[in-house]
Amino acid sequence: MKPMSVSGALIVDTATLYFRAYHGLPRSLVNAAGEPVNALHGLLDMLANLLTGYPPAELVCAWDDDWRPAWRVALIDSYKAHRLAGEAGEPLDDELARQVPWIRASLAAAGICVAAAAGFEADDVVATLAERYLDRGLPVIVVSGDRDLFQMVRPGIRVAYIARGVANHVLVDDAWLTARYRISGGQYVDFAVLRGDPSDGLPGVAGIGEQTAAGLLASYGDLAGIQAAAKNPQTRLTPRVRAALLANADYLARAVQVVRAAKVPLGELDARVEAGRADLDRCRELAVDYSIRGPMRRLLAALGEAVG
């Protein structure tokens, strides 16, 4: 990754990285006890690459306190329901679950700020922090493989979308969204609600796919404008689309609340990236315990620590 001049904030959807590492790296990466450390190994290397490519003034790893909050399920009972069977890696299987505390311990030893909020997902933490940094005048790069965070895109906030890996990520801004979906970041929530999202268990509105949703937003601006058009017989909606929108008014109202990232209570965070924050003795200890000497060294170097 070619380094860019970035002096703002880098906010990482941590679970995206460790799921990708776990499913992308071989189980043959093990510690001295023969236990897989592929998720930990890969996450540290991904962070090192991201820090090198987008050197930030501040770094936060956002954490899922609750990957399927009850308040979202109460609104849409199918929300992430398919993942209960483990289809998308949740709940964690034993080999990955064992590595999650090791990941948390390694981040702490390296002096990296981890942020979570009780009863909320990492997406909510990311969105809250992105707005906070933007208010401070700092440019933000959000790192995630979750398209829902495209809703954060606006001047000053971009998403490093890593669905194809960190090395092949796409830096998403409004121009990219316009070219790909014909929408802006501010329209993404309404777009996702109309189109649906099987990966999150959101059914969408029957008969309204990606192209139709984008066309409706181009014509009427947002979901409120689309619903007003559906109620007005003079607008040029097809009978099928008009009927579908009217029949799904309740679903649309609930789904918007599910998809839109919530503002969460977070205290002040010390997320500075600067030498001296890492506990180097602890890092060396963990590097030996988990057989991650290379990744830990690369991460510390990317953080500016004198690793010797």
Given a cut of 80, whether residue 33 has pLDDT beyond it is: yes
Given a cut of 60, whether residue 286 has pLDDT beyond it is: yes
**What is the rounded distance in angstroms from the CA atom of residue 259 to the CA atom of residue 136?**
26
Q: What is the mean pLDDT of residues 166-181?
A: 97
Given a cut of 90, whether residue 84 has pLDDT beyond it is: no
CA dihedral in degrees (277, 281, 282, 283; nearest 10)? 70
Can you give the pLDDT at residue 2?
53
Report how far apart the first and last C-alpha atoms of the chain are (Å, whole number).
24
Phi, psi dihedral angles at 241 (to 5 degrees): -65, -40
Q: What is the mean pLDDT of residues 55-76?
A: 95
**What is the rounded distance in angstroms from the CA atom of residue 279 to the CA atom of residue 302?**
15
Q: What is the mean pLDDT of residues 277-286?
A: 97
**What is the rounded distance in angstroms from the CA atom of residue 90 to the CA atom of residue 175?**
33
* Tens-place pLDDT, residues 251-278: 999 999 999 999 999 999 999 999 999 9
